[in-house]
Structure 1
Amino acid sequence: MGMVLSFVRVTPKQLDQALEDPELAEELAEDEDAASCYLDKAWAGIQFLLDEAEVLVDIYEDGEALDEEATLFGWDPDQVAYAAEAFAEMPADKLAEFFDPKKMSEQEVYPQRHLWGADDRDYLVENYRQLAEFFKESTAKGAGLIRAFSF
């Protein structure tokens, strides 16, 4: 399976409760009926592109840890809105210009031991488009998010 990352939409009240109760945070993150954005293994490649483009959003590190293992992070509505705006200012086609498979392979951007190639560009761009749209929709709803990381 590997290391995968996803976001699940929650209400601000649910997020507040999840900050106090790691078991609830896990339940919310695993809710199959909740709106979500699954990035699979594209998350590290997307983060590479965001860093190269100097977009000040870290999809892995931003937010507040909800559990001791730091596999779940909460993003409050203000953080979601900030990221949504940053993504809107960096459309997918423009972000794709920062795709550098040689540099990504040299830096061992996850998945390590994977040699990035030209065909990976579309995979990252499509996942980024979904991510940007999900953050935009979440902002419109005034929602928070739970970032889930599994390995």
Structure 2
Amino acid sequence: MGLVMSFTRVTPEELERAVADPVWAGKLMDFLGALDSPDQPDGYLDKSWDGLQYLLDKAGVSVGLQEDGIPINEDNTFAGWRADAVKRASELLKATPFEDLAGYFDPTEMTEREVYPSFWDADDLEYLRGSYETLVEFFKVTAASKSGAIRSFG
């Protein structure tokens, strides 16, 4: 399967409880993952997370998909993003059209640097575009509702 990343919108209260109780956080994420709710914005990035991070870093956009957030558990499977962090990320992402990031797409360099999943070709730009659109929309909707988020990684 490989390493995938996703973001899930949570209430500020759910986030605080998740940070305080990592076991409960896992149960919450299982519960929310099992729901098929049209109210829950899609934050699934699949394996594009490192490619997106590469583009964001190259463009100087200070959103750390893996590094930002509050660690919830020791293995960094979950990290919490409070509403203020979600809002900040939303503003930065909205201000950065994908076309600005696309200019940094270099499949050869990304492969040489072993940007996960470690092999890139020219066709992957559209994969990254779709994932970026998902990411921007997730943060926009989540920020508008003044919610927090939990980043799942693994």
Query: TM-score, normalization: structure 1?
Result: 0.94
Show the counterpart of 1:22: 22
Distance 1:69 1:53 in 2: 29
1:22 touches 1:67 (CA, 8 Å); kept in 2?
yes
Among all aligned residue pairs of Structure 1 and Structure 2, give the percentage whose two residues are the same amino acid: 46
1:10 touches 1:28 (CA, 8 Å); kept in 2?
no
Residue 29 of structure 1 deviates from its aligned partner by: 2.1
Where structure 2 has 5 or more consecutive residues not aligned to the other structure, the ranges are: none
Distance 2:146 2:133 in 1: 20
Show the counterpart of 1:52: 58
Where structure 1 has 5 or more consecutive residues not aligned to the other structure, the ranges are: none
SS at match of 1:78: helix
Distance 1:10 1:24 in 2: 13
Where does 1:32-51 land on structure 2 (aligned, <5 Å)?
32=33, 33=35, 35=40, 36-51=42-57
What letter matches 2:7 in structure 1?
F
Residue 102 of structure 1 deviates from its aligned partner by: 1.2
Show the counterpart of 2:139: 135
Residue 85 (structure 2) pairs with residue 90 (structure 1) = no
Show the counterpart of 1:2: 2
1:9 touches 1:138 (CA, 8 Å); kept in 2?
yes
SS at match of 1:74: strand
